[in-house]
């Protein structure tokens, strides 16, 4: 991957570089509660920070680093931006040297990140409520402690009601939630959407409902993995075949440059993906 200062098209985990769009999504998940914790640092000069910075960002300098490093737990995701994406890479390496497990430098710096955040900020809408929900759905929402006044609000592990319904194989509730207008674009703390949870739950009907609702079948999580890769690695041949029928791309690679075919755990899965093997 190029080391130019322009924004990268994709996130590169090996170099701790994150594309502005992925960084903006990470911030959106943090602000919604799907991602429980995040440290956001602005490493530009103090004057630039004072003139304008990303909401929630903390100014960080050499003098302030020791205190910041002591305050944060090592499993706190750290997101860093500078002017163009160069100095932030040095800072990312510094945090990594102090054994922080997940550290990202935003490619393109402040301007690129701010530009990526703007479209997401414009996607806000009135919360989807449970006023028209059936008795079964209401009971489900209460059982898992979801907010009846916001059906997109996440709970444990960043799961929304749609994700939880998909995970437990309740295709009827998935369909009802979609009809009520919940977002199929939400992602949990690991960057997975509801389709991943439907694949884990093994409900073909839930998968079909979500695909029909326009969910991203090629969503890549925070490790760069897609639903197709998960199904291949878990030996879920039936669901793998269904995803292929729904248009999932078998040529995508994760952050380790592996395709779904490279991850196939069974001969049946490999057979379905044999045309993509390298």
Instruction: Name the residue among 254, 264, 259, 252 with its Cα closest to residue 278.
Output: 259
Per the CB < 8 A criterion, the answer to whether 252 and 244 are in contact is: no
Query: Is residue 48 exposed (0-12), middle (13-18) or buried (19+ Cβ within 10 Å)?
Result: middle
- CA angle, 85 then 14 then 25, to 5°: 60
Instruction: Name the residue among 186, 230, 229 with its Cα closest to residue 210.
Output: 186
- CA angle, 28 then 8 then 278, to 5°: 105
How many Å apart are CA 184 and CA 174, to the nearest integer? 10
Check if 82 is active-site: yes
Q: Which of 82, 199, 231, 269 is catalytic?
A: 82
Name the residues annotated as catalytic: 82
């Amino acid at each position: 991957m190029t080391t130019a200062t322009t924004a990268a098209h994709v996130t590169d985990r090996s170099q701790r570089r994150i594309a502005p769009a992925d960084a903006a999504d990470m911030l959106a998940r943090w602000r919604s509660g799907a991602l429980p914790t995040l440290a956001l640092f602005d490493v530009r000069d103090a004057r630039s920070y004072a003139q304008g910075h990303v909401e929630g960002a903390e100014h960080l300098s050499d003098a302030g680093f020791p205190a910041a490093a002591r305050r944060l737990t090592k499993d706190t995701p750290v997101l860093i931006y500078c002017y163009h994406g160069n100095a932030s890479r040095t800072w990312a390496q510094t945090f990594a040297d102090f054994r922080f497990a997940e550290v990202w430098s935003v490619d393109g710096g402040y301007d690129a990140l701010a530009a990526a955040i703007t479209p997401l900020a414009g996607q806000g809408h009135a919360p989807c409520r449970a006023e028209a929900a059936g008795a079964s759905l209401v009971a489900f929402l209460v059982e898992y402690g979801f907010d009846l006044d916001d059906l997109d609000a996440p709970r444990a592990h960043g799961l929304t009601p749609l994700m939880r319904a998909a995970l437990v194989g309740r295709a009827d509730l998935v369909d009802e939630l979609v009809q009520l207008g919940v977002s199929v674009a939400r992602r949990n703390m690991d960057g997975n959407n509801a389709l991943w949870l439907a694949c884990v739950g093994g409900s073909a009907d839930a998968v079909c409902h979500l695909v029909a609702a326009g969910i991203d079948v090629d969503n890549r999580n925070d490790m760069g993995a897609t639903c197709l890769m998960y199904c291949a690695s878990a030996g879920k041949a039936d669901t793998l075949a269904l995803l292929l029928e729904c248009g999932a791309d078998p040529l995508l690679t994760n952050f380790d440059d592996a395709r779904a075919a490279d991850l196939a755990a069974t001969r049946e899965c490999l057979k379905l993906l044999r045309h993509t093997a390298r």
